[in-house]
Chains A and B, each alone.
Chain A
Amino acid sequence: MTESSTVNHLVHHAAQSTPEPVARRVRGLSDRAIAWLFIAPTILLLLAINIFPLIWTIQLSFTNYRANRPNAAVSNVGLDHYASILSDPDVWHSMQVTAHFVLWTIVIQTALGFALAYLIDRKFRGHGFWTTVILLPMMLSPAVVGNFWKFLYQPQIGLFNYIVGFLSGTDPSSFQMIGDIRLAPCSIIIVDSWMWTPYVMLICLAGLRSIPDYIYEAAEVDRASAFRQFWSITLPMAMPFIMLAVLFRGIENFKMFDMVNLLTSGGPGSTTEVASITLKREAFEKWRTGYSSAFAIILFVTVFGLANIYVKALNRVKSR
């Protein structure tokens, strides 16, 4: 028996095994209806997993519901939660901590990421190997990264303290990265930058590789200096990609939770209490579900607004 006849045989069997009423029903549908039939499970799943919780959260944000008292009477409080969040100095402080964290991580990651991309783009010997090595931290889970950096930051046995002590000549156990009010924010910024600088490097590398060689050749003919080429060609042409990286990291760091929770849990005091940690405390320690729902909606609208800008920047890069 040839291969095609085997296939025909299988198809015939499959057609016969389809129940006749179902086959007739499907045969009678239009192409559009069949397309809807195929995407319906995905739409239903999206509605169940994304849209329904969002609508429920919006509804809860107008009530005094507490998840630890599911049988208690729930009353409508209108916009009270929103008003109290937007006038609460503690929440405002957590927003400032978030801003501090977002600002410094973006500055460090963009500067380092672009510098690394510029070096890798030189295509020196073994650049493929070094690219892989640089990309390794990005491939790890934030939970794993948080845990092993916690070990690295140990004052007695931590490698980070030992290296800093060795280079600066101080005693490694004389300072605590996670336990010190001044150093705790820096410790999170260092870990996040270590993990996500490779991502910024990748985006910047894509930008640098998209610049056509003939522009540099024309600049060489015009006797433009290396600095002039960098300032007038490389930087402006890679700028949309840099902006894309900045926006993406900004959005991601705005809702950063896992690494901060693992490293410091918002402490010491509230020095590293970013917005998502405050949200967790309100929702699962104080059990103020309605209040935390309103807070979640405020964060969601902010991230959604930033995501709109991100998509616009992405379209601009795509149209280049």
Chain B
Amino acid sequence: MSSLDEPRPVPPAARPFRLFRRGPWENLATLVIACGVVMLMQPFSIALYGWSFITTLAGTVMFIVVSKFPE
């Protein structure tokens, strides 16, 4: 017979929800934005400069989307 004081086992979170946690995704989006800004301003390669806008845009859109994920 189980006691009432005994803590109930917490059911493991469903896999898709465990995958879509805000913290790591937000960090990844921040990293992508930072990469885009560095690519925009670096003096070494014009090819990197050319790809900078799309990288920053992707990071920003990603940030907006993942900020709606649960904690």
Q: Is the interface of A mostly helix, strand, loop or mixed?
A: helix
Of B1-9, B13-21, B56-64, which binds chain A? Answer: B56-64
Q: Are A312 and B40 in contact (CB under 8 A)?
A: no
Query: What is the bound-complex CA distance between A306 and B37, given in angstroms?
Result: 8
The answer to whether residues A96 and B37 also contact, given A305-B63, A309-B30, A312-B30 and a CB cut-off of 8 A, is no
Chain B residues 40-71 with CB under 8 Å of chain A are: 40-43, 46, 49-50, 52-53, 56-57, 59-60, 63-64, 67
Name which residue of chain A comes closest to B59, CB basis.
A305
State whether A302 touches B26 (Cβ < 8 A).
Answer: no
CA–CA, A89 to B47, complex, Å?
Answer: 11
The contact size tier of chain A is: 10 to 19
Do residues A309 and B34 form an inter-chain contact, with CB atoms below 8 A?
yes
- Interface contact A304-B60, CB-CB below 8 Å: yes
Known interface pairs A301-B56, A305-B56; A96-B41 also in contact (CB < 8 Å): yes
- State whether B43 touches A305 (Cβ < 8 A): no
Contacts of B29 in A (CB 8 A): 308
| A98 near B41: Cβ-Cβ < 8 Å | yes
Question: Which chain A residue shows the least CB distance to B26?
Answer: A312
Whether A86 lies near B26 (C-beta < 8 A) is no
Residues of A within 8 A of B59 (CB): 305
**Which of B36, B49, B64 counts the most chain A CB atoms within 10 A?**
B49
Contact of B36 among A96, A98, A305 (CB under 8 A): A305
Q: Which residue of A lies closest to B31 (CB)?
A: A309
Q: Mark A295-320, 1 if CB is under 8 A from B, else 0.
A: 00010011011101100100000000
Determine the chain A residues whose CB is within 8 A of the CB of B49 once the complex forms. Answer: 86, 92, 95
* Bound: A99/B59 CA distance, A: 20
Partner of B53, one of A298, A304, A306: A298
Is B37 within 8 A of A305, CB to CB?
yes
Query: Quick one: given A87-B50, A308-B33, A312-B30, are A302 and B40 in contact (CB under 8 Å)?
Result: yes
Determine how close the nearest CB of chain B comes to the CB of A280; give it in whole angstroms: 19
A151 to chain B, nearest CB (A): 32
In this complex, the member of B41, B50, B56, B63 whose beta carbon has the largest number of chain A beta carbons within 10 angstroms is B41
A82 proximal to B (CB < 8 A)? yes
Chain B residues whose CB sits within 8 angstroms of the CB of A302 once the complex forms: 36-37, 40, 53, 56
Interfacial chain A residues near B56, Cβ < 8 Å: 301-302, 305
A interface residue numbers (CB < 8 A to B): 82, 86-87, 89, 92, 95-96, 98-99, 102, 298, 301-302, 304-306, 308-309, 312
11 contacts between A and B (CB under 8 A): A86-B50, A86-B52, A92-B46, A95-B49, A301-B60, A302-B37, A305-B36, A305-B37, A305-B56, A305-B57, A308-B30
